[in-house]
Structure 1
């Protein structure tokens, strides 16, 4: 992916500087209705455990073209910022994920998925899909999925707590500790401050609608990374329209990323284990597909 940034280097801040200035910014690279803002081979190296971010916007029917595909070693988090999608999972039931709701899937040891979400009641959808690299004790753990509709996600002021803890409020998503992920909506001219928990040196933000000032301008479609510091991030929406954005902060992931086509792990051994598992699952999935009669949906295969 080609980034609209300077050559990547470790994020550093001057000693005793507690400001949260912007260190990197990108508009990513478009692939039809999807813009890839971050991947494990670029900004994901600097913002880990956040390693992958897509911003998607399309006719809701585009989800029907999503093929079954595997993952291991990571968790995926899908957040909708406009419209809604329908979820259908034999283990979790069915319902709708709209603004403020979330799909969480810890791929762990290995999973094939891609058919659990389909068009909802809205003509168009917009949202983010985020990957986080899992810690060593979870990267080869069993698969864990959650579908949480908007009323289940707690809110603190204009922020919905998608992952982690914020101002004493904890998300119900079963994510590893040390990671916060918020969905924030500001009215035109509204100010908001985020004080990251102790140790959350990693901090980034991506706007899906409108613009915010930090005080530097951050526009829709951009992802920005902030320098590591202990200071509060102060934001203000533009005075003409409101803004919708996601914000992530975390304790830095301590491992070098070991990457496969669909996997991210903490070691080559864990990567080999994960890739062997998804290859085994793929072989079984294909064999069972041949045996099935008619068209049978397989939302998640684990």
Structure 2
């Protein structure tokens, strides 16, 4: 999924200064953003005071939206470098096409994982006809330097592992959680888990002490270590936790994202992740000049997105050490 802001801010990511040295319960302020022709999303990462959670660099939550009378999601072909996109649906369907020739429609409970690596282009649309509701999350994972030039790839996993216990059902998108391991390819130690809590659930879930975590309420509401978490909001949980207590008075879906704190210093601008402003500018030039680096998306009916003008100030990765 694309960042469609025509005046995107450059984000300086990485370093350990902003990583909590212990447990935290910080509510992350999100903002509403128009994505494509009609889809409004809540952008929760990067946000004020928090740019990364592990290698998770971008979190958009959208819906549930009634798209019965409209076209639903319509995101034209656009590029990515140096990251993975992780697409997760709770309702609806999305038709993915990319410059590798992938042409896949996926739905709830399925993992669509795209590794941009050296460079890729893709489009995302609600199919026609499509289900009435559209609800999900779009996530980006920053690739470490050793893997950021990886050969682009797309994975579609129709079934994912998980387990059920005491009013909690887990689905593991990425990494390992409670003994269940996702088939999705990961390049850094991380985890992504959908947690479905039944009404009245009171559970304790296991965590990795060396990971930092964030928790998004996709639907319903929960109490997280006694702190309220409402739908569409995200809590930063810090590090140093071995477990997390969750309670819910109503059926609730949570998305737990975590990983080892990401020490490398990055620049993220528009749909690119790089290591310097010069790299980012080169990516934008190559995309706008239709370089072979990104290839072409076949089958999309419409024009592709152009990279917006670069900001007037230099883009720099100013990583900070704790």
Q: TM-score surpassing 0.5?
A: yes
* Aligned residues of 1:85 and 1:120 also touching (Cα < 8 A): no
Q: Structure 1 residue aligned with 2:25, among 22, 28, 44?
A: 22
Comparing 51-60 with 206-215, greater Cα deviation is found at: 51-60
1:62–1:132 CA distance, 2 compared to 1 (3 A): farther
Name the counterpart of 1:297: 300
What SS class does the counterpart of residue 54 from structure 1 fall into? strand
- d(CA) in 2 for partners of 1:270, 1:264: 9
CA contact (8 A) 2:83 2:143 kept: yes
Q: Aligned match of 2:178 in 162, 167, 170?
A: 167
Write out per-residue CA displacement over residues 244-292 of structure 1, whole angstroms, 9 at most, x where no aligned residue: 1211010011112212322113455764665565456x34599989xxx
Distance 2:152 2:296 in 1: 20
Change in 2 beyond 3 A, CA 1:271/1:261? same
Residue 64 to residue 52, structure 1, CA distance change in 2 (3 Å): closer
Partner of 1:47: 53
The one-character-per-residue Cα deviations of 1:219-247 (angstroms, maximum 9, x if unpaired) are 0010111122233111111x2x2101211
Indicate the RMSD between aligned Cα atoms, in angstroms. 3.3
Counterpart pick for 1:10 among 18, 41, 47: 18
Q: Would the alpha carbon gap of residues 13 and 209 (structure 1) be closer, same or farther in structure 2, given more than 3 Å must change? A: same
Distance of 1:277 and 1:116 partners within structure 2: 25
C-alpha distance in 2 between matches for 1:86 and 1:288: 16
Higher helix share: 1
Q: Contact (CA 8 Å) 1:258, 1:268: kept in 2 or not? A: yes
Matched, 1:111 2:120: yes
1:153 aligns with 2:160: yes
CA shift for structure 1 position 54: 0.8
Is 1:84–1:120's contact at 8 Å kept on the other side of the alignment? no
Deviation at 1:119, TM superposition (A): 5.0
Q: Return the match for 1:209 from 219, 232, 239.
A: 219
